[in-house]
Amino acid sequence: MLTPPVSFFWFRRDLRLTDNAGLYHALKSGTLVIPVFIYDTDILEKLPDKQDRRVQFIQEAIKSLAENLEKLGSFLRLKQGKPLDIFTKLVQEKTITAVYANHDYEPYAQQRDAAVEEYLKTRGIPFYTFKDQVIFEKNEITKADREPYTVFTPYKKRWLNTINSFFVKAYPTEKYFHQFASINSVPLPTLTDLGFQHTDLVTPNIRVAEEIITHYHKTRDYPAQAGTSRLSVHLRFGTISIRQVVQLAQRLNATWLNELIWRDFYHMILFHFPRVVSQAFKPAYDHIPWENNEKYFAQWCTGTTGYPLVDAGMRELNATGFMHNRVRMVVASFLCKHLLIDWRWGEAYFATKLLDYDLAANNGGWQWAAGSGCDAGPYFRVFNPAAQLKKFDPGNLYVKKWVPEWESSNYNQPLIDHDFARKRAINTYKAALTDF
């Protein structure tokens, strides 16, 4: 049966209709566009907790997309399964001119997309993909010899020298909304249909107060204050455009822009060095003889280490799916250095809990904390959790919120002495790195 030709736009980490690079190109191409989202069972089946805030976040974003498409006389085609199987079926149902999507730099996504592209090619269907998730990708910012940067400061310098209004200009998708194919609305799958349960998700506001950004450089390190944007989950799932966010940063605050450049940097690192997913960026660090004490790890996970700032951070993470950046650095350093537990354990725990979990940024953050990362500090710099608490939570407001029993006799004794742990970490790292 011959159907009128259509193109597909495949939503993934770009769950919005406006300023969306791949969607813009699909709509502008001239064929009618069917928007599709696939609940990828390869990913969903691997999520250990069936009360996962991220699945609910996605489901809510999908609902909003579908409603907005309905207002345009279209709808979102929702599929559940393995992407390659889904496209195999779609090709049988429709005459497809092309499939459009945006780049995804994670190794799993790269393989998935390569398989889909290869299959579509056998059917004579092009798979067009675009940069959308970052400002600069892959080889756009490289050293003079075209090799990727592995140190942040020169990367950032080149990034800032390269950026201009072209790179942050919004894609005017709305000009072509009439190109969406008309589709009847259908009931959306519920969380239960997807095998998940409702959670206590609190979605951070997508409209960040300009005042927060204006004062960011002064407030960003204090977890008791609302001093950061909380946009990370929106950037992760693309409910906001990075171009829009960078424009705001350019206008309001260079320190905040710096953080967005770190985001580009870690995506670039993951793309060029996918081995970091399982290995230390600096190979010598894979020779550290981790103690990997399971009891200590459990205490770290549950926020019962007897170090108030560490415990507050872990409890905030467990209770909300968020942890302030300063505290992420402290808890990560504590796990790797004080407890000599492999950074991969901490990274994996964060991956199950963080609402904003992003492989590139999480891996980058953990390898930075462990010292093994591309641009990590020297191994002998060990965060002192008590000094960090004094400096960054001077009124103890953050700690008291999450560890109310602190300062009472009910609170745990520190599970390890700071001076002992610091010396042990330095000696262990030194021996492993010298021997290598």
Task: List the binding residues for FAD.
Answer: 216, 228-232, 256, 259-266, 356-358
Kindly state the tokens that stand for 113: 């997309």
Question: 159 catalytic, yes or no?
Answer: no
According to CB under 6 A, which one of 228, 253, 305, 372 is a site residue for ligand FAD?
A: 228
List 74, 102, 229, 299, residue binding ligand FAD (CB under 6 A): 229
CA separation for the pair 162, 169 (Å, rounded): 14
| 21 closest CA partner among 176, 139, 229, 153 | 176
Active site residue 262: yes
Cite the annotated binding site by residue number.
Answer: 216, 228-232, 256, 259-266, 356-358
Is 290 assigned a catalytic role?
Answer: yes
Catalytic residue among 345, 366, 368, 402: 366
Q: Which of 25, 328, 337, 338 binds ligand FAD (CB under 6 A)?
A: 328
Hey, is 56 helix, strand or coil?
A: helix
Instruction: Output 56 or 97, the one with its CB closest to ligand FAD.
Output: 56
What CA–CA distance (Å, rounded) separates 62 from 298?
A: 35
Q: Pick the catalytic residue: 60, 290, 293, 318?
A: 290
Q: Is 109 in the site for ligand FAD (CB under 6 A)?
A: no
Least Cα distance to 403 among 279, 310, 288 occurs for: 310
111-170 positions binding ligand FAD, by CB under 6 A: none
Q: Shortest distance, CB of residue 222 to ligand FAD, whole angstroms?
A: 12
CA angle 384/390/392 to nearest 5° reads 95
The one among 325, 384, 396, 412 contacting ligand FAD by CB under 6 A: 325
Active site residue 325: yes
| Closest separation in Å from C-beta 30 to ligand FAD | 35
Cα separation, 55 vs 198, in Å, equals 9
Q: Least distance to ligand FAD from the beta carbon of 142, Å?
A: 19
State the CB neighbour count (10 A cutoff) for residue 161: 9
Which helix (DSSP H) or strand (DSSP E) does residue 128 occupy?
strand 127-130
Q: How far is the CB of 287 from ligand FAD (least distance, A)?
A: 22
20 binds ligand FAD (CB under 6 A): no
DSSP H/E element including 431: helix 418-435
Pick from 17, 301, 329, 416 the residue near ligand FAD by CB under 6 A: 329
Cα 147 from Cα 105, distance rounded (Å): 18
Q: Which range touches ligand FAD (CB under 6 A), out of 43-51, 70-78, 275-283, 359-367?
A: 359-367
User: 43: part of which helix (H) or strand (E)?
Assistant: helix 41-44
Q: How many residues does the chain have?
A: 436
Q: Total number of residues binding ligand FAD (CB under 6 A)?
A: 28
- CB-nearest residue to ligand FAD: 365
Helices (H), 321-417: 325-333, 343-353, 359-370, 385-392, 397-402
The single residue listed with the structure tokens 């005459």 is: 95
Which residues make up the interface to ligand FAD (CB under 6 A)?
Answer: 220, 228-232, 235-236, 259-260, 262-263, 266, 325, 328-329, 332, 350, 354, 356-358, 361-362, 364-366, 369
